[in-house]
Amino acid sequence: MVEPRPLRLGVAGLAAGERPVRASGTGRRTGREGAQCRIGSLLELAVPFAALAVVPGQLVALLVQAVRGGQVVESYPGEEGLVLVVPGTDFEATMWSA
């Protein structure tokens, strides 16, 4: 079993357009390979599982927070977060149907 480890991803500012996705929690702030953020009328965030260094079958917990002045102003989906399982390489083939 893989030991859980925290990783904080951040997007600074809410200006429209593409925004860099940075990670902290590793002792340094770095970009995440393949992570993308675009802001328009919605904030869209894409983070590949490979960028998180997780393996198929591993649980990942996700909590999105809006922070202003160092204080959390909103959390989604609530305080408990969203838990999902990293899919295997055959995920698309097993989910495909016609």
Structure tokens that stand for 58 in this block? 């591993």
SS3 of 39-78? ECCCEEEECCHHHHCCCCCCEEEECEEEEECCEEEEEECC
Domain boundaries, the chain: 8-95
Tens-digit pLDDT profile for residues 34-92: 889 999 999 898 988 888 888 898 888 888 888 888 898 888 887 667 888 899 888 88
Query: pTM for the complete prediction?
Result: 0.69
Using the predicted structure, report yes or no on whether residue 13 has a pLDDT greater than 70: yes
Structure tokens that stand for 23 in this block? 């990670």
Structure tokens that stand for 20 in this block? 């860099």
